[in-house]
Amino acid sequence: MKAFIACLGTETNTFSPIPTGLRNFQDTMLYHGDATRAPADLHTAPLIVWRELAAADGDEVVESLATFAQPAGITVRKVYEALRDEILTDLKAALPVDLVLLNMHGAMVADGYDDCEGDLLARCREVAGTDAVIGGELDLHCSITPEMRAAADALVSYKEYPHIDTKERAAELYAICRDAKLGKTTPVMAVHDCRMVSTWRTPVEPMKTFVARMHALEGRDGILSISFGHGFPWGDVPCVTARMLVIADGDKKKAEDLARQLGQEVWAMRQETAPVTMPYKEALSRAAAAAAGPVVVADIADNAGGGAPSDSTFLLQEILDTGLSDNISGLYWDPLAIRLCKEAGVGARLNLRIGGKCCRESGIPVDLDVTVKGIIENATQPFGSVTQQMGDAVWLQAAGNVNLVLNFIRGQTFHPDAFSQFGIDLASLKIIIPKSSQHFYAGFAPIAAEVIYATSPGTLNMDFANLPFTKLATPFWPNVEDPFKS
C-alpha cells in the first residue's frame, strides 16, 4: 500500500486585520517533504505518526508539503494557491496512491476561498481518483462543510481543548482509512449542525464526561469515530457553527441518528458549558486581592492562537495605572523592542516602547522604564508532548516587580516554561498573565491558586451573540434562544 501525506493549514480569524502571507507560514512551520525528519511539533506530529504506522505495516509513504501558519487574518490568495498546488503536484507525481492523509485545520479562509479544506480535499480527490481513500485530520475548531464531507472518506477532529490528542487522532484516522482501503470497513459520515457558536473547555465538566462518552461509543456497534467540531467563532463563513460528525461502518442512518443525538446532548448542556469570563479590570483587581497566589489571569482576547496580534497592552496598562506589583505577562510579540533589547544586552536599563503596534485591537504602546533581565535566543516552550518555537525571547522587569516576556515568533503562551526558562520563580508572584484562550490551562492550572478568563478589547470578542456574521444562513445560539424554532 502507498500512503501520501501532507499538511496545510491555519486558523483564520476573518475579523483579524493581520494578513496571513508566506512569511507567516515560513516563521511557523514550512517543510517541503521532510517534516517527519525534524522533531515533532503540534502540526507535524500527525505526519510522524502516519509514517511510523505505515512503516510498521510495511507500507510506502510519499511525504509532501507540511506547513502551518500562526492564526491571523485571511490568507493571501496566491500564497494559498501556491501551497495547495505544491501538494497537488506532488500527489500527481506519486500516483497511484492508496491513501491520502491530510493534516489540516478546518477553519482556513483565503481570499476567494471560504473553505480552503473543502477546496483542497476536492482537488485531491480529482487527482487521486475514486479508488484512493482520503482522510483528513482537523482541529476541533473547524468548520465542517458539505464540500469537505463530500470529498473525504473520513474526517476526524481532535477531541480535547487544549489539543493534547493530535497523535491519537492521527492514529485513529490512519486505522479507519487503511481498513477502508483493505475492504474491512465502509466508512460513511453524517454531520449534525448544532447551530451553536461558543467555545467548550474539555478538561472541565460537563465536557470532560462528554468526551469520555464519545470515546466509549467508538469502536463498537458499527461506530468507527465521533468528532465534535466546536467551530471557530471568529470566522465569518457559512459553516461557522458547531457540528457533530459521526463515522459509521456502512450504516448512514446509524451515523445520522447518533450525530443528532449527541448534538442534542451538547445543546442540552449549553448553559453549563458557556464560557465563564470576567472583564479584565475586575479580574486583575480580584487577583491582586487574593489571599493566596499566584492567580492566573488569561488574556483571552489577545490569543495569537486565535489570530490576535499578541501585542495588546490593555492589561499591562491597567497594572501600571493601578500600581499592581509582583506579576508577569506575555508573550508580547514585539520584534522591534526585542532588537533594541538585544542591542543593549542583559543588565541594560531602557525606556522601552512596548506592544500596541499591530492594529487597533492592540491598544496603544506602553512606554516603560525596564531592565533587561534575560535574553534567550531561539527559545522554545513545550505544548503537550511537542515543542513550540518562540524565537528570540527577552525578559524585562519594571519597578514593582512587574515582569514581561517578549518574543520574536508570534504565538500564544502554551506553558509556564515560556516564562520560567529565564529562571523566574512563578510561585513567588501574585499574578501570571498568559496571552492564551485555553491552551495555557494544561500547564498553568497546576501552579495556579485560581484561573480567571479575562475579557478585554481585542480580536477575540467573546460576545458570541453579537458577532457580525454576514455569511451564516441559519439562526444560531446565543444570538437567538432556540435556533431550531422556525
Specify the pairing of strand 402-407 against strand 223-229: unpaired
Angle between helices 314-322 and 280-289 (to 10 degrees): 50
> By C-beta, is 178 or 201 nearer to Zn ion?
201
Q: Give 84 or 141: the residue with its C-beta nearer to Zn ion.
A: 141
Q: Select 71 or 363, whichever has its Cβ closest to Zn ion.
A: 71
Span interacting with Zn ion, options 133-141, 214-222, 427-435, 454-462, rule CB under 5 A: 133-141
Minimum CB distance to Zn ion, residue 61 (Å): 26
Stretch that binds Zn ion, among 42-50, 59-67, 134-142, 388-396 (CB under 5 A): 134-142
Is residue 105 within 8 Å of residue 28, measured between CB atoms? no
Q: Site for Zn ion (CB under 5 A): which residue of 43, 84, 141, 430?
A: 141
Which lies closer to Zn ion via its Cβ, residue 139 or residue 302?
Answer: 139
Q: What is the DSSP string of 192-212?
A: EE--B-----TTSTTHHHHHH
Other C-beta atoms closer than 10 Å to the C-beta of 53 total: 18
Tell me: does residue 137 bind Zn ion (CB under 5 A): no
The DSSP code sequence of 355-391 is: S--S-GGG---EEEEEEEEEEEEEEEEEETTEEEEEE
For Zn ion, which is the closer residue by CB, 42 or 134?
42
**Cis bond before residue 478 (omega within 30° of 0):** yes
Nearer to Zn ion, 137 or 139 (CB): 139
Classify strands 295-299 and 187-193 as parallel, antiparallel or unpaired: unpaired
Binding residue (CB under 5 A) for Zn ion from 90, 98, 137, 139: 139
Nearest approach, Cβ of 174 to Zn ion (angstroms)?
21
User: Which is closer to Zn ion, CB of 159 or CB of 373?
Assistant: 159
Q: Tell me the window of 34-42, 89-97, 135-143, 184-192 that interacts with Zn ion (CB under 5 A).
A: 135-143
How far is it, in rounded angstroms, from Cα 196 to Cα 477?
A: 5
Smallest distance from the beta carbon of 70 to Zn ion, in angstroms? 12
Residue nearest to Zn ion as judged by C-beta position: 141
Q: For Zn ion, how many residues bind (rule: CB under 5 A)?
A: 2
Q: Which residue number, 139 or 392, has a Cβ lying nearer to Zn ion?
A: 139
Collapsing DSSP states into helix, strand and coil, what is residue 328? strand
In the complex with Zn ion, which residue's Cβ is closer, 139 or 165?
139
- Is beta strand 431-434 parallel, antiparallel or unpaired with respect to 295-299? parallel
Q: Compute the least distance from the CB of residue 143 to Zn ion, in Å.
A: 12
Q: Alpha-carbon distance 411 to 431, whole Å?
A: 21
Q: What cell numbers appear for 431 in the block?
A: 499574578
Options 141-149, 183-191, 193-201, 427-435: segment touching Zn ion (CB under 5 A): 141-149
Q: Locate 171 and state its grid cell.
A: 492514529
Provide, rounded to whole angstroms, the least separation between the CB of residue 410 and Zn ion. 16
Scanning 30-38, 140-148, 281-289, 325-333 for contacts with Zn ion by CB under 5 A, the matching segment is 140-148
Cβ atoms of residues 387 and 39 within 8 Å: yes
Piece of the chain touching Zn ion by CB under 5 A; list 57-65, 131-139, 269-277, 448-456 = 131-139
183: left (phi over 0), alpha (psi -120 to 50) or beta: left
> Which three-class secondary structure state does DSSP give residue 246?
strand
In angstroms, what is the minimal distance from the CB of 171 to Zn ion?
19
What is the residue type of 151?
A: A
Report, in Å, the least distance between residue 427 CB and Zn ion: 29
Please report how close the Cβ of residue 163 comes to Zn ion at its closest, in angstroms.
Answer: 6
Crossing angle of helices 45-56/166-181, nearest 10°? 40
Q: Which residues bind Zn ion (CB under 5 A)?
A: 139, 141
